[in-house]
């Protein structure tokens, strides 16, 4: 069984922010798979189930995402190699897509929390959101909405990512990297 986690923050005020790109991918996967909501308060998130697949949106806010991931991982006895985390990445240009196993958190507080709770050797789907001009603007930037220009490619980019994640059920990470990695999404 795979556990696919999309990172984001709960609440309508965060719904269309760059930080919530992981939630957007999970929402589309839930629709595509017709997944059932099996959330429990102990999971600290919205959990959906499809055949051989769990889809999780932690509702702990980004900085405590690891609590939710650990709860679900332990309850369902998911191997670390079967955990996939989808997250925004300011070190990649907008609409870039990369895949990797393990590594550092790069200053991402959601990844930092997950690393602390379950370790670092899980698979990551890195969705580039670009970065602001100054480091002091990072928080406002990731908690800001996508620009009009970015909105124009957002659905296509999300759907491309969804296809890649679906294939992670049956293909290796290296196969997914070579087929789905993007420098930027082009319609």
Going from N- to C-terminal start, the domains of the chain cover 2-180
Give the model confidence (pLDDT) of 76-99 as tens digits: 999 999 999 999 999 999 999 999
Neighbours of 10 (CB within 10 A): 17
19 labelled catalytic: yes
pLDDT at position 106 is 86
Cα distance between the two ends of the chain: 33
Kindly provide the residue ranges of all beta strands, DSSP E only, lying in the chain, ordered along the sequence: 2-6, 36-37, 45-50, 53-58, 83-89, 97-101, 123-128
pLDDT reading at 187 higher than 80: no
Name the CATH superfamily, with its identifier, for domain 2-180.
Peptidyl-tRNA hydrolase (3.40.50.1470)
* Cα-based distances in Å from 64 to 39, 51, 125: 17, 28, 19
Q: How far apart are CA 89 and CA 119, in angstroms?
A: 19
The DSSP code for 150 is: H
Give the mean pLDDT of 116-122: 96
3-state helix, strand, coil in the chain (%, to 5): 45, 20, 35
- Please work out, in degrees rounded to the nearest 5, the angle formed at the alpha carbon of residue 108 by the alpha carbons of 126 and 38: 70
Give the span between the Cα atoms of 129 and 97, in whole angstroms: 10
pLDDT at residue 124, as a whole number:
96
**Token code pair at residue 157:** 């980019």
- Phi and psi of 134, rounded to 5°? -120, 145
CA distance 45 to 124: 19
Q: pLDDT tens, 20-64? A: 999 999 999 999 999 999 999 999 999 999 999 999 999 999 999
Catalytic residue among 19, 105, 108, 160: 19
pTM for the predicted model, two decimal places: 0.96
Dist. CA 21–CA 17, nearest whole Å: 7
Give the CA diameter of the chain.
Answer: 44
| pLDDT tens track for 139-182 | 999 999 999 999 999 999 999 999 999 998 889 889 999 999 99
């Amino acid at each position: 069984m795979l556990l696919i986690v999309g990172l984001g923050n709960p609440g309508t005020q965060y719904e269309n922010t760059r930080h919530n790109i992981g939630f957007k991918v999970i929402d589309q996967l839930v629709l595509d798979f017709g997944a059932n909501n099996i959330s429990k308060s102990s999971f600290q998130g919205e959990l959906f189930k499809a055949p051989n697949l769990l889809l999780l949106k932690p509702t702990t806010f980004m900085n405590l995402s690891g609590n939710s991931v650990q709860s679900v991982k332990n309850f369902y006895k998911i191997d670390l190699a079967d955990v996939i985390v989808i997250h925004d990445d300011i070190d990649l240009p907008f609409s870039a897509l990369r895949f990797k196993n393990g590594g550092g958190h790069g200053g991402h507080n959601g990844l930092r929390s997950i690393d602390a709770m379950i370790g670092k050797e899980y698979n990551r789907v890195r969705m580039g959101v670009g970065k602001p001009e100054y480091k002091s603007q990072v928080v406002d930037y990731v908690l800001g909405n996508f620009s009009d220009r970015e909105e124009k490619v957002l659905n296509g980019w999300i759907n491309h990512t969804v296809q890649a994640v679906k294939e992670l059920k049956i293909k290796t990470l290296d196969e997914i990297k070579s087929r789905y990695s993007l420098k930027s999404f082009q319609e």
